[in-house]
Amino acid sequence: MDFLLHHTLQSTASNHPDKEAIVHGDVRLSFGEVKARVRALATGLRAAGLQRGERVGIYLDAGIPQVISIFGISQAGGVFVPANAVLFPEQVAHIARDCGIAALITSSSKLEALEPVLSNIPSLRFLVLVEDSQTPEIYLPKYSFQRLIDVPTITSGAWEDPGISKDLAAILYTSGSTGKPKGVMLSHANVIAGARIVSRYLEISSNDRILAALPFSFDAGLNQLTTAFQQGSTLVLINFVFAKEIVDALVRDQITGLAGVPTLWSLLAQPSSTLHKNSLTALRYITNTGGAMPQNVLSALRKALPSTKVFLMYGLTEAFRSTYLPPEELDRRPTSMGKAIPDTEIMVLNENSKLCKPGEVGELVHRGPTVSMGYWGNPEATNRVLRPNPMLPPELGDVERVCYSGDLVKMDEDGFLYYVGRRDAMIKSSGFRISPTEVEEVVFHSGRVRHAAAIGIPHDLVGQQVKVFVVPKDGERVDCEALLAFCEDKMPRHMVPKFVEVLAELPKTSSGKIDYPALRRREGLQ
């Protein structure tokens, strides 16, 4: 029985050892080969001193070492913490400090960028590098990824799994409405349930070839990996910049499934896209998450892919996927989020935690096996999001937590859900959740302003774009172009403000806090 993440790989490898598991460029590995490398890496990590439950960071570009690392850390009894490859060194350092990583698996080039911040990660004991190239002189022990894999295999008796399905498997970092990104804790049971549920409604089987275009630090991206390995599908990895590279991969590797976010679909749907020039009869399904797909993009995709099923989905990292819209409902309900995924109950609750009637706006509350364990080291934030199930009889006591999403939705008479808006100030853009505070901190760090406040401005393609209001220092003017150039150098592209407006003063509440609702009203949003 598969109750730990790496068991899914072991089961598939036992049943189909020679079947193609991973493709990246010219490199192709079978499930048997992946299993052997994962076991060897786990052995090496243990030999290097990794203890059960310790966190291991993964800061790599998309590639086979990422996959081996995720399963290898799991088999070693550790907790994998993937950092998006586009993050800047200080952002990676925050993640590492917050969850106290004991080890970091990275590349030589990324290590060079990280070197100035490594001393600010007191828990870090050793590094693992995926290639044997020249690296900076660093005080920490450094291990070669390949040499760890070459460590002699330990006896089988030592591989008795000490963990159970309720144990922590992964921490995925996602921004909150205030402060730094928070680490969402996923148990082995959470991750395995997510793979099982998605494979059911997408009907994924060992015949599928899935293109992994989303990062594994994103819950939907990680699910591409876990679903493929659970079902014995082939996972094709890709590093891409242009839409043509995606289309080339779809054709070359006969891809049957692709998950994406609205920005990716918009690139593929453009009139100049090579998507319109190829017959992709093998592409069985595509899925959208991370924001609503614009209707013109949806229409263009359906025209270009007449035999491909389109699944519109909604989810949040704290509870994985929540809803999906069956493809047969697209014509009747193109703007709907759909209904609950299998083995999940979605409730729409009012402020008194009572069920809303059809048409009434309430908060989406998720109940099911994918509800996460909460936020690492932040019980206060956890208790705000994960609360006792108000629908259970009081005699049962506090035996189950459900996830309060913070998203306002409404349900029609047939039970289909529709997104209304966010309860908090979170900015959601291109599948990313952006903390206004993080943006403001970078703007402040420029030294060019006295006050700053960031909000989200609706955008048909990416969901929202960032706008920042700034107050100049006394007697000075703000060079908006220079400020934006500074932001581009200090944060990932999706976080960079698209608009800057200079105000004499920011609106304040009676308690002296920035009045964000007033700023949104200024933009005609409230």
Model confidence pLDDT, tens digit, residues 228-253? 999 999 999 999 888 899 999 999 99
CATH code of the region 5-164+202-237: 3.40.50.980
> Is the model's pLDDT at 305 over the cut of 90?
yes
Predicted local confidence at residue 341, as pLDDT: 98
Would you state the structure tokens that stand for residue 405, as one six-digit string?
């999403």
**Interatomic CA distance for residues 229 and 233, integer angstroms:** 6
Q: What is the pLDDT of residues 339-348, one digit of tens each?
A: 999 999 999 9
**Interatomic CA distance for residues 479 and 474, integer angstroms:** 14
> Is the model's pLDDT at 156 over the cut of 60?
no
Q: How much is the average pLDDT of 429-457? A: 86
Taking the CA atoms of residue 116, residue 122, residue 125 and residue 128 in that order, the dihedral angle to the nearest 10 degrees is -40
Taking the CA atoms of residue 266, residue 269, residue 275 and residue 281 in that order, the dihedral angle to the nearest 10 degrees is 100
In terms of average pLDDT, the best of 247-261, 414-428, 506-520 is 247-261
Q: Which residues contact 6 (CB under 8 A, 6 or more apart)?
A: 38, 42, 71, 74, 75
Q: Are strands 209-212 and 234-237 parallel, antiparallel or unpaired?
A: parallel
Predicted local confidence at residue 512, as pLDDT: 55
Taking the CA atoms of residue 446, residue 452, residue 456 and residue 460 in that order, the dihedral angle to the nearest 10 degrees is -50
pLDDT bin (cut points 50, 70, 90) of residue 513 is low
For the stretch 410-414, contacts whose Cβ atoms lie closer than 8 Å and that sit 24 or more positions apart, written own/partner, are: 410/348, 410/356, 410/358, 410/359, 410/360, 410/361, 410/362, 411/348, 411/356, 411/358, 411/359, 412/333, 412/336, 412/358, 412/359, 413/358
Q: How much is the average pLDDT of 316-324? A: 95
Predicted local confidence at residue 509, as pLDDT: 64
Helix segments in 100-187, DSSP class H: 108-114, 145-149
Of 9, 154, 4, which Cα lies nearest the Cα of 79? 4
> Is the model's pLDDT at 150 over the cut of 50?
yes
Q: How much is the average pLDDT of 150-157? A: 52
**Interatomic CA distance for residues 1 and 130, integer angstroms:** 32
Tell me if 5-164+202-237 shares its fold with 427-522: no
Q: What is the pLDDT of residues 250-276, one digit of tens each?
A: 999 999 999 998 888 988 998 889 999
Please say whether the beta carbons of 10 and 35 come within 8 A: yes
Name the DSSP class of 486: H
Predicted local confidence at residue 510, as pLDDT: 47
Of 301, 335, 329, 305, which Cα lies nearest the Cα of 201? 329
pLDDT bin (cut points 50, 70, 90) of residue 223 is very high
Judged by average pLDDT, the poorest of 146-160, 187-201, 354-368 is: 146-160
> Is the model's pLDDT at 520 over the cut of 60?
yes
Query: Global pTM?
Result: 0.86
DSSP assignment of 415-445, as one string?
A: S-EEEEEESS--EEETTEEE-HHHHHHHHHH
**Interatomic CA distance for residues 351 and 356, integer angstroms:** 10
The 103-106 sheet, strands edge to edge: 142-144, 126-129, 103-106, 55-59, 79-82, 168-174, 182-187, 374-375
> Is the model's pLDDT at 493 over the cut of 70?
yes
Q: What percent of the chain has pLDDT over 90?
A: 73
Predicted local confidence at residue 155, as pLDDT: 46
pLDDT bin (cut points 50, 70, 90) of residue 175 is low
SS3 call for 99: helix
Predicted local confidence at residue 180, as pLDDT: 76
Judged by average pLDDT, the poorest of 29-43, 127-141, 185-199, 303-317 is: 127-141
Token look-up 């806090």 returns 513
Phi-psi domain of 21 (left: phi exceeds 0; alpha: psi -120 through 50; beta: other): alpha
In terms of average pLDDT, the best of 58-62, 137-141, 508-512 is 58-62
Please say whether the beta carbons of 407 and 364 come within 8 A: yes
**Interatomic CA distance for residues 223 and 214, integer angstroms:** 10
**Interatomic CA distance for residues 470 and 476, integer angstroms:** 12
> Is the model's pLDDT at 22 over the cut of 50?
yes
**CA 523 remoteness from chain centre:** 29
Quick one: 427-522 is in which CATH superfamily?
Answer: ANL, C-terminal domain (3.30.300.30)
Helix segments in 50-106, DSSP class H: 64-75, 89-99
Judged by average pLDDT, the poorest of 51-55, 216-220, 295-299 is: 295-299
- 340-422 is classed CATH 2.30.38.10: yes
pLDDT bin (cut points 50, 70, 90) of residue 136 is low
**Interatomic CA distance for residues 51 and 136, integer angstroms:** 27
Please say whether the beta carbons of 438 and 471 come within 8 A: no
Predicted local confidence at residue 188, as pLDDT: 98
Please say whether the beta carbons of 421 and 408 come within 8 A: yes
Predicted local confidence at residue 153, as pLDDT: 52
Token look-up 């990422």 returns 66
**Interatomic CA distance for residues 347 and 367, integer angstroms:** 8
> Is the model's pLDDT at 146 over the cut of 90?
no
DSSP assignment of 309-330, as one string?
A: EEEEEEEETTTEEEEEE-GGGT
Sequence spans of domains, the chain: 5-164+202-237, 340-422, 427-522
